[in-house]
């Protein structure tokens, strides 16, 4: 690939997420790849890993690492493959008027950032989903723009992001509170990304997975690699900015400002 010297971000990060087990459980399903400069994405070992002993990542580590990266002074864009919000109908039903209030409210009913808490334990506690939920048939606008993205309320099926979404949302809130504005949560903080800001965005690895040779990577590694590489290539080809403003009408932009948008859906 021919590399352009004018790029928006120093680092391009792809994170394949998992909502399994607890926030401190080390999971092979969580993978991190990072690209910088002219180098293609490389796997990032978790904190505490050594050359002789690699430890899997956990969700708590991911959040802490992103906070550290935001404080490092280098600009980055990181794509995480879980939902960042819920359908507009959810906001209307529970009278929630902003994404920031949504995160606060969600953490009351789904406190999945607790060290010993799992998504399934909360579901079992209620004999089913807690009162703060929606229909498994409901889709956000961004999901309707794809051929295969599933509802954030659809649990227990192959390819579902419901569990990772419900496990990951409290960590978005935690990161936001820790970084004090150093990270732009796209598009909730605005469709336009100010120069020098780090960015955290929702991604859907299926959009990019087949573009790149699988090599000897696992499926989870390939997903993280593909996200990192797509971000890297798009930034260096000066096309990434196009994806920050999908071709939505005024009313659609208002909906997506609450529901979120999958970066790369255009």
pLDDT, tens digit, for every residue of 48-57? 888 888 899 9
The single-letter DSSP state of residue 151 is P
In a domain, 3, yes or no: no
Rounded CA-CA distance 5/223 in Å is 26
In a domain, 250, yes or no: yes
**What are the pLDDT digits (tens) for 158-171?**
888 999 999 999 99
Residue 62 has pLDDT above 60, yes or no: yes
Residue 182, domain extent: 11-259
* Model confidence band, residue 66 (pLDDT cutoffs 50, 70, 90): very high
Listed residue (31, 97, 35, 23) closest to 60, CA to CA? 23
In a domain, 169, yes or no: yes
Residue ranges in 38-161 assigned as alpha helix (H): 59-71, 88-93, 99-109, 119-125, 141-144
Residue 139 has pLDDT above 60, yes or no: yes
pLDDT at 242: 95
Residue 76 has pLDDT above 60, yes or no: yes
Residue 4 has pLDDT above 50, yes or no: no
In a domain, 5, yes or no: no
Bridge partner residues of 42 (DSSP): 34
pLDDT at 127: 65
3-state secondary structure 2-66: CCCCCCCCCEEEEEECCCCCCCCCCECCCEEEEEECCEEEEECCCCCCCCCCCCCECHHHHHHHH
Residue 44 has pLDDT above 70, yes or no: yes
Average pLDDT over residues 3-30: 90
* Pairwise pLDDT comparison (75 vs 158), residue with the higher score: 75
Bridge partner residues of 262 (DSSP): 202
For the chain, the domain total comes to 1
In a domain, 153, yes or no: yes
**What are the pLDDT digits (tens) for 182-236?**
999 999 999 999 998 999 999 999 999 999 999 899 999 999 999 999 999 999 9
In a domain, 129, yes or no: yes
**pTM of the predicted structure, to 2 decimals:** 0.94
- How many Cβ atoms from other residues are within 10 Å of residue 161's Cβ? 22
Rounded CA-CA distance 214/131 in Å is 41
How far, in Å, are 17, 43, 54, 130, 221 from residue 165 at the CA level?
9, 23, 26, 15, 19
The single-letter DSSP state of residue 198 is E
In a domain, 4, yes or no: no
In a domain, 168, yes or no: yes
Provide, rounded to the nearest whole percent, the portion of the chain with pLDDT above 90.
86
């Amino acid at each position: 690939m021919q590399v352009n010297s004018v790029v928006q971000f120093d680092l391009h990060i792809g994170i394949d997420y998992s909502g399994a087990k607890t926030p401190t459980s080390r999971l092979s399903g969580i993978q991190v790849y990072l690209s910088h400069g002219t180098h293609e994405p490389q796997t990032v070992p978790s904190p505490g890993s050594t050359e002789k002993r690699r430890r899997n990542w956990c969700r708590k580590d991911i959040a802490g690492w992103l906070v550290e990266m935001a404080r490092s002074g280098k600009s980055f864009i990181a794509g995480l493959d879980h939902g960042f919000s819920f359908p507009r109908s959810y906001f209307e039903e529970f009278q929630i008027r902003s994404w920031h209030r949504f995160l606060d409210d969600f953490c009351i009913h789904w406190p999945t950032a607790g060290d010993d808490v799992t998504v399934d334990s909360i579901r079992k506690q209620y004999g089913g989903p807690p009162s703060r939920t929606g229909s498994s048939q409901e889709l956000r606008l961004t999901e309707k723009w794809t051929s295969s993205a599933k509802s954030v309320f659809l649990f227990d099926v192959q390819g579902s992001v419901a569990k990772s979404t419900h496990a990951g949302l409290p960590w978005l809130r935690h990161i936001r509170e820790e970084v004090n504005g150093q990270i732009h949560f796209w598009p909730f903080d605005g469709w336009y990304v100010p120069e020098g800001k780090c960015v955290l965005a929702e991604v859907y690895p299926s959009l990019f997975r087949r573009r790149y040779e699988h090599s000897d990577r696992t499926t989870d590694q390939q997903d993280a690699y593909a996200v990192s590489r797509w971000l890297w290539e798009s930034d260096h080809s000066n096309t990434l900015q196009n994806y920050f403003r999908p071709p939505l009408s005024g009313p659609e932009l208002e909906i997506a400002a609450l529901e979120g948008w999958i970066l790369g859906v255009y």
